[in-house]
Amino acid sequence: MEKRLIWDLPTRLFHWLLVITLIVQYVTAEVLDDAMQWHFYAGYFALGLILFRILWGLAGTDYARFSHFVKGPVTVLRYACNLFNRDSPAHTGHNPLGGWMVILMLALIATQAVSGLFLTDDVFLDGPYRSAVSEATQDTMNFLHHNVFNVLLALIALHIAAIIFYAIYKKQRLAPSMIHGKKATEDKAISSSKLLLAALLIALSAATVYYAVEIAPPAPVDDGAYY
Cβ proximity to ligand HEM, 159 vs 204, nearer residue:
159
Ranges of beta strands (E only) in the chain are 3-5, 182-184
Nearest to 102 by CA among 58, 57, 141: 57
Answer yes or no whether residue 102 interacts with ligand HEM by CB under 6 A.
yes
Among positions 187-226, residues that touch ligand HEM (CB under 6 A) are: none
Q: 152-186 as b/e, with b when 16 or more CB fall inside 10 Å?
A: beeeeeeeeebbeebeeebebebeebeeebebebe
Nearest to 22 by CA among 100, 106, 101: 106
| Minimum distance of ligand HEM from residue 165's CB (angstroms) | 12
CA distance 227 to 214: 25
Q: H-type helices in 70-168, by residue range?
A: 73-81, 96-116, 135-168
Answer yes or no whether residue 158 interacts with ligand HEM by CB under 6 A.
no
Cβ proximity to ligand HEM, 31 vs 227, nearer residue:
31
Answer yes or no whether residue 62 interacts with ligand HEM by CB under 6 A.
no
Answer yes or no whether residue 32 interacts with ligand HEM by CB under 6 A.
no
CA dihedral 203, 206, 208, 213 (to 10 degrees): -160
Which residue in the set 8, 94, 202, 209 belongs to the binding site for ligand HEM (CB under 6 A)? 94
Answer yes or no whether residue 30 interacts with ligand HEM by CB under 6 A.
yes
Which residues are near ligand HEM by CB under 6 A? 11, 14-15, 18-19, 22, 25-26, 29-30, 36, 39-40, 43-44, 46, 53, 64, 94, 98, 102, 105-106, 109, 112-113, 116-117, 119-121, 127, 145-146, 149, 156, 159-160, 163, 174-175, 178
